[in-house]
Structure 1
Amino acid sequence: MKRQILPIYILLLISFGFIRNAQGDEPFRPESGKFPPIEEAKAYRGELVFVDHVNRRGSLRLHVDGHFQEGHLHHFAMLPYGEIYYHGAPADLRDIPIGTVLYGLFYLPPDPDTSAVPNVKGNDKTAPPETHAILLEDGPSLCLRKEKAWKLKEVNINGSEGILVASLDREDGGEGLGGEHQLTIDGSTRIWRGRELLGLNDLIAEGLWPASGKKEFDGQDIQLALTWHPRYLYQQFHVSDLWLDETAMNIAIERQRQRHIRHIHTRWMPARVDTIQYGEFGQATITATLFGGMDDSLYAEFKSGIGGKMAAAENTLRTWWPDHDGMDGRIISVEKMEDKPQLGSSGIQIQFDVPLILEGFRPGRIVRIRTQGWPNVKPPVEERVRSFEDRWPSADIFK
């Protein structure tokens, strides 16, 4: 009997997880009130082509080794505890430029009926069913997390453009790109060295790169941010940012970190309500777990004995009028678990005492919390919740 040979595109779809195998490799659906096991997540990577930062969702053009998945875009939403990183620091979707190559870990939506990304795939078997991300990060963030760097091997300059040859190690089945790549550079490429922002012409003028022709390098460690290339179907990339040394990368990290800190100070720390201990006349003590993916300095501001405010939020982390409809209270304890927390959780649990319990503070619900000293403000009108049906932008944009 002849062995059946599957078409190459079917093999690629199976290998990338677009089609489940016969051994029952089923996608995982997270349960409400629990942080999902990371080993059940599916890793996908692709180019960011659309962002709805208000509802923490967007679209990726997925790719596998060798080519992009042309056709249907992969619409996604962040889980309420989903973590985002850009330039090696915590981030929000609004921080990431369109065209950035991103890497993520995804699950099925916890509740398809209330998902911020409707099921628009129908019976399309080539579309991944995992639409909810617990992790989304750019190339530098992934490399820093994995303690890796690109190895610069060669630059080849032709006029105002050039080719950069670099390689990146990737273990079998690992995340991200791997192997040697020829990446385009030109006058739009931002080159960071120490505290300097340079261009291609600056390195040529200094004699570090040739005005024309090829120069080889001995595997210099660099970090790269990749973006769209006209030959994206053949997995070619353009370099949007190039960091030549550790100092330059650390400066980029600090800039993004400060942007993130300001964002959380004005939108407040997201958390999930775990339990409630009821007192008399509406008083209650709320136990909540702060979500992961925030800067350490923000967690350090949560201390026992200080005042604060808690506001109800939805799964997209949108609030109503937190400065008006939130509830003032006091942090009475802060406990940090000894073991390493699961992705999505900070491992920090607080007890928050309020004089009057609100409906949005029930177990399993999402809240936002500010500590004493954070601004008591409402977010911009387009970020506030009016009703799930009156959402802006509408879910119709994904149809």
Structure 2
Amino acid sequence: MKRFFVLLAFSLAVLGRFAATGKADEPFRPQAGAFPALEKAYSYRGEIVFVDHVNRRGSIRVQGEGTYYRNPPHPFAMLPYGIVRYHNAPADLRDIPLGTVMHVRAFLPPDPKISAVPVLPVDNRKKTAGYSGAGIAPAENHVLLLEDDPSHCQREGLRWKLKEVEVKDGAGMISASRETELGDDTEAHEEQLTFDAATRIWRGRECLGVTDLIDEGTWPATGKQSLGGQAVLLGITWKPTPGGVFTRFHISDIWLDDTAMRRAAKLQAETHKAFIRTRWMPAWVDAVEYGKFGHATVTVTLFGGMAPTLYADFRQGVDVTVNASENTLKHAGGHYGAAHMASKGPIVSITKSDGDTPLGSSGIQVTFETDLLIEGIRPTRVVRVCPNSWPRVQVPREEYLGDGSSKFEHRFPTPAIFPTY
């Protein structure tokens, strides 16, 4: 029993270094039609354990002050303009492997009445849950930025510095600390991370395994070896750990150089570009100038976080198709294709912001004219916009609401969504 409490005290001390600390002291609730400042977001991290990608929500096991494996999955929802980053490139929730440790910047639900996940007491981040400790279920569960560790490190100017490796039977432990690229981070704490035969090691255009590094003499076949503070980027996951260790994270990937990381980012960026071209660019409506007989001039702000080549397709004179959308970015209708009942017309002007653009916004306003304005295009409402150069495809049934029968209940699928055989 004494050994248990010694281990518990040690683990809690380590967790104090691991635990994400929210910079926003006061909970913040975003307002419709305004992009919130990243500085007001509460930050935490944990592993993705469930994803409902079509409703842009999921669950994350949040790292708190206590025993990590006891922490129940915590539901989260992406804000309509929320950004997902994977391998330092734009991503969709469907791209994130389960178990990936993600960094979260989140707010209170903008409108609790239509939250797609449970609404919690505002001070819930301070509550303690048994051995899990505090911080495992923050009320800030509407996410502005969700990013994996390589994305987080490159955005913050950080690198992992590898200190020592210990190998036994093709697996083992790495001692490392996450530091600034300049190496002047005096508060960096050394951490112990596991690896195994499934860990991928990326070097230039090569994908290596642990045995490859052993065979070439870079790592020892057994025992310890200094790595001299080698700067790398790491993919972090979590796996159950033997030996009574309450929290220890696992390395899924090691990127040894910039070439390897850039290749991973390029592949992910291409995946996301293909996805957006078939689902359309999300935006919200800034203003509508009504004309006669359904004619209108509409101004929208395109959401941020996309590849520059996607924004480049929006040009003055280009015809666009605009469909109403739900806050989960589902199309409002799609039985006959998203374009069937959508508004159509030419872009009459493009405005780009000169100053700093808040995260979530592209800073690009598109004004288009249409001779048939559909109901869902109103100020502050979310829409999907498609330049006519993009392909016209049928989106899967789960990614749109029923034509003319949109109900609040559709936000929360029941077992009835499954076919009867």
Instruction: Indicate conservation of the 8 Å contact 1:227/1:237, yes or no.
Output: yes
- Seen in structure 2, the aligned counterparts of structure 1 residues 123 and 212 have a Cα distance that, compared at 3 Å, is closer
SS at match of 1:179: coil
Q: Which residue of 1 aligns with 2:257?
A: 245
Q: By how many angstroms is 1:16 displaced? A: 6.5
Q: Which moved more, 1:31-40 or 1:286-295?
A: 31-40
Q: Which residue of 2 aligns with 1:205?
A: 215
1:255 aligned to 245, 267, 276, which one? 267
User: For residues 333 and 61 of structure 1, what CA distance do their matches in structure 2 show?
Assistant: 45
Q: Which residue of 1 aligns with 2:192?
A: 182
User: For residues 122 and 181 of structure 1, what CA distance do their matches in structure 2 show?
Assistant: 32
User: For residues 178 and 21 of structure 2, what CA distance do their matches in structure 1 show?
Assistant: 23
Q: Which residue of 1 aligns with 2:386?
A: 370
TM-score, length-scaled by structure 1 = 0.88
User: For residues 414 and 110 of structure 2, what CA distance do their matches in structure 1 show?
Assistant: 20
Q: Give the alignment of 1:33-182 within 5 angstroms.
A: 33-64=33-64, 67-68=67-68, 70-119=70-119, 125-126=127-128, 127-169=137-179, 179-182=189-192
Instruction: Indicate conservation of the 8 Å contact 2:61/2:73, yes or no.
Output: yes
Give unmatched runs, 5+ long, in structure 2: 1-8, 129-136, 182-186, 417-421
* Structure 1 counterpart of 2:220, one-letter code: P
User: For residues 364 and 91 of structure 1, what CA distance do their matches in structure 2 show?
Assistant: 24
SS at match of 1:203: helix
Q: What are the superposed Cα offsets for residues 75-121 of structure 1, whole Å, 9 maximum, x if unpaired?
A: 11000000110000000000001100000111110111111113377
SS at match of 1:255: helix
- Seen in structure 2, the aligned counterparts of structure 1 residues 121 and 249 have a Cα distance that, compared at 3 Å, is same
Instruction: Indicate conservation of the 8 Å contact 2:109/2:141, yes or no.
Output: yes
1:303 pairs with 2:303: no
Q: Give the alignment of 1:297-336 within 5 angstroms.
A: 297-319=309-331, 320-321=333-334, 322-336=338-352
Q: Which moved more, 1:373-382 or 1:42-51?
A: 373-382
Q: By how many angstroms is 1:39 displaced? A: 2.2
- Count of residues in correspondence between the two structures: 377
Q: By how many angstroms is 1:327 displaced? A: 1.9
Q: By how many angstroms is 1:32 displaced? A: 0.9
User: For residues 58 and 239 of structure 1, what CA distance do their matches in structure 2 show?
Assistant: 22
User: For residues 122 and 344 of structure 1, what CA distance do their matches in structure 2 show?
Assistant: 23
Identity of aligned residues (%): 51
Q: What are the superposed Cα offsets for residues 13-63 of structure 1, whole Å, 9 maximum, x if unpaired?
A: xx9779x9xxx9441111111111222210011111111001000111111
Instruction: Indicate conservation of the 8 Å contact 1:167/1:179, yes or no.
Output: yes
| Structure 1 consecutive aligned stretches of length 4 or more whose deviation exceeds 6 Å | 15-18, 120-124
Q: Which residue of 2 aligns with 1:228?
A: 238
User: For residues 288 and 148 of structure 1, what CA distance do their matches in structure 2 show?
Assistant: 35
User: For residues 118 and 183 of structure 1, what CA distance do their matches in structure 2 show?
Assistant: 33
Instruction: Indicate conservation of the 8 Å contact 1:323/1:378, yes or no.
Output: no
Q: Which moved more, 1:79-88 or 1:319-328?
A: 319-328
Give unmatched runs, 5+ long, in structure 1: 1-7, 172-176
Q: Give the alignment of 1:350-361 within 5 angstroms.
A: 350-361=366-377
Q: By how many angstroms is 1:169 displaced? A: 2.2
Q: By how many angstroms is 1:178 displaced? A: 5.1
TM-score, length-scaled by structure 2 = 0.84
User: For residues 17 and 253 of structure 1, what CA distance do their matches in structure 2 show?
Assistant: 27
SS at match of 1:289: strand
Instruction: Indicate conservation of the 8 Å contact 2:200/2:253, yes or no.
Output: yes
User: For residues 84 and 52 of structure 1, what CA distance do their matches in structure 2 show?
Assistant: 14
Q: By how many angstroms is 1:223 displaced? A: 0.6
Query: C-alpha root-mean-square deviation of aligned residues, in Å?
Result: 2.7
- Seen in structure 2, the aligned counterparts of structure 1 residues 16 and 395 have a Cα distance that, compared at 3 Å, is farther
Instruction: Indicate conservation of the 8 Å contact 1:62/1:69, yes or no.
Output: no
Instruction: Indicate conservation of the 8 Å contact 2:47/2:102, yes or no.
Output: yes
